[in-house]
């Protein structure tokens, strides 16, 4: 049990900064479409998807340069999201006219995505994020193992009674067990996204 406690403590200390960055940026990405609507007026329009409308838009986009992928506009966001080779991206209006085009993390929402997905460090950062996600899952499991012998002391207290070490540990233990399952799922699915090919092979 002492080894598990040490593993849990040191892994938590090392991973804390990365997991905080991933958690904050992941939360911001939930608001990504709202930010696009705020900064690109055409995105506020609702588009009714139909084969003729989307087909014409795709032809108009391809006439301005063939994208690698295209996410069509719809009722919730009125711009097509385009990805080009060499890390290029763009937003196009409902009729396919290019509204804005950029490379890398020049726009705020893409900077947040790159920080969340790659720590702004390219493929190497992506691997670090994937490993951190899987290590976070291990951290959850070791936390449950450490908690189990003291389960009778569980009080469901999230906020500590005081800043004394005993109360901080008690609060950490209670909050950790309450959040263990959702954090475990988040960490595992995040790692599976990064190591997608390996995950498919294992499943």
- Across 133-148, average pLDDT: 88
Q: What is the pLDDT of residue 1?
A: 67
Q: Structure pTM?
A: 0.82
Judgement on whether residues 25 and 39 belong to the same structural domain of the protein: no
Instruction: Report pLDDT digits (tens) over 143-156.
Output: 888 888 877 778 77
Q: What is the pLDDT of residue 44?
A: 95
Range of the domain at 84: 32-107
- Across 49-57, average pLDDT: 92
202, part of any domain: no
Which domain CATH number covers 54? 3.10.450
Look at 187 and 86; give whichever has higher pLDDT: 187
> Mean of the per-residue pLDDT values for the chain?
89
Residue ending a domain, choose from 50, 78, 107 = 107
- Closest Cα to residue 60, out of 85, 100, 92? 92
116, part of any domain: no
125, part of any domain: yes
Contact, 185 vs 142, CB < 8 A? no
Q: What is the pLDDT of residue 40?
A: 96
Q: What is the pLDDT of residue 109?
A: 95
Judgement on whether residues 148 and 187 belong to the same structural domain of the protein: yes
Residue ending a domain, choose from 82, 107, 132 = 107
């Amino acid at each position: 049990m002492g080894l598990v406690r040490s593993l849990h403590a040191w892994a938590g200390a090392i991973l804390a900064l990365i997991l905080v960055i991933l958690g904050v940026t992941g939360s911001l990405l939930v608001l990504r479409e709202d930010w696009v609507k705020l900064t690109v007026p055409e995105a506020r329009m609702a588009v009714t998807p139909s084969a003729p409308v989307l087909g014409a838009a795709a032809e108009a986009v391809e006439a301005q340069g063939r994208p690698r992928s295209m996410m069509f506009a719809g009722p919730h966001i009125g711009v097509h999201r385009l990805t080009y080779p060499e890390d290029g991206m763009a937003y196009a209006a409902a009729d396919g006219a290019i509204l804005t085009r950029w490379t890398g993390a020049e726009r705020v929402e893409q900077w947040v995505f790159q920080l969340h997905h790659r720590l702004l460090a390219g493929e190497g950062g992506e691997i670090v994020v994937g490993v951190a996600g899987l290590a976070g899952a291990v951290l959850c499991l070791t936390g449950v193992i450490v908690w189990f012998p003291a389960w009778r002391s569980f009080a469901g207290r999230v906020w500590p009674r005081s800043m004394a070490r005993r109360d901080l540990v008690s609060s950490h233990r209670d909050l950790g067990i309450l959040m263990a399952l959702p954090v475990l799922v988040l960490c595992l699915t995040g790692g599976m996204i990064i190591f997608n090919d390996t995950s498919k092979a294992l499943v």
